[in-house]
Amino acid sequence: MIGLHFGIKDVIDILLVAVMFYYGFVLLRRSGAANLFWGIFAFLIIWVLVCFVFQLELTGALFDRIISVGAIALIVIFQEEIRSFFYHVGARFSAFKLNNKVSRAEEREMQVKQIYDACLHMSESKVGALIVLRNKQELSAFTDTGEMVDGKISTRLIENLFFKNSPLHDGALFIAKGKIQSAGCILPVSKNMDIPQHYGLRHRAALGLSEVSDVTCIVVSEETGKISIAQSNTIRTIPLSELKSIIENNLN
């Protein structure tokens, strides 16, 4: 009795064949020839039985010839589908390589620009906004009070969230780990009595959060369009020339 030796290489071998069959089936199904796949599959099973199980040399040689010619015929018949398949595989591989080439610094620079442009546009249009750049400290007690967004940092998305008719425009928007985390969040209002009177509720909420956490809050005034920064228990109005560097230094 012949002993069977089944190891890790055999598992890998079976998995590779299964993957090839799967993609072959997908390729033929897209072309509307799924029945052809099952015909080829049945033929291959017969070929394995003839050549490797029963070891019929003459029939096996004939089957080998048919497979050689049949493989070329399939390539000719399905050349468009095969070309399309390899094109998609190559496109995914190229995208993967491209993503690897884009450095974290370039990605971060793009995110800074998106936030800066949004603040600039809202300042020019006098659209009130409160953006929180979260640091390492977990602030789920505040982020959970709003709506989870978990979206890519985008100028348009930020502006839309603070649009006057948006249901989330009155709350704070949290940015952390390269994403817009949540919007419409409720923040604690500072009880500091020394806050200048011209600062509104957004400014007081930004200062209140900076008093209990290590965040950097960007506030756009709805009345004047001026931009203020709340950080480390203080709040101050800044010129636009300082905004980009502040975002760069505090974006996590």
Confidence at residue 42, expressed as pLDDT on a 0 to 100 scale: 77
pLDDT band per the 50, 70, 90 thresholds, residue 33:
low
Task: Kindly report which listed range (96-110, 147-161, 213-227, 234-248) carries the lowest average pLDDT score.
Answer: 96-110
Residues 6+ apart with CB under 8 A from 202: 128, 129, 130, 219, 221, 222
pLDDT mean over 219-242: 94
What pTM did the predictor assign?
A: 0.60
The amino acid sitting at 227 is I
Confidence at residue 94, expressed as pLDDT on a 0 to 100 scale: 56
The amino acid sitting at 27 is L
Task: Kindly report which listed range (21-30, 107-116, 140-149, 154-163) carries the lowest average pLDDT score.
Answer: 21-30
Confidence at residue 93, expressed as pLDDT on a 0 to 100 scale: 59
Q: Which residue has the higher pLDDT, 174 or 84?
A: 174
pLDDT mean over 113-139: 94
Confidence at residue 78, expressed as pLDDT on a 0 to 100 scale: 64
- Phi, psi for residue 248 in degrees, rounded to 5: -60, -40
pLDDT in tens, 191-225: 888 888 889 999 999 999 999 999 999 999 999 99
- Residue 153 is inside which H or E element, if any? none
- Percent of the residues in the chain that have a pLDDT greater than 70, as a whole number: 78
Checking if the pLDDT of 91 tops 90, the result is no
pLDDT band per the 50, 70, 90 thresholds, residue 1:
very low
Tell me the residue ranges of DSSP E strands in 123-195: 129-133, 147-152, 172-176, 179-185
pLDDT mean over 15-31: 71
Confidence at residue 52, expressed as pLDDT on a 0 to 100 scale: 73
Confidence at residue 99, expressed as pLDDT on a 0 to 100 scale: 57
The β-bridge relationship of strands 216-220 and 227-231 is antiparallel
CA atoms of 227 and 129, how far apart (whole Å): 9
- Phi, psi for residue 101 in degrees, rounded to 5: -75, -30
pLDDT averaged over the chain?
Answer: 83
CA atoms within 13 A on the CB side of 138: 3
Confidence at residue 11, expressed as pLDDT on a 0 to 100 scale: 81
Judged by DSSP in three states, 133 sits in strand
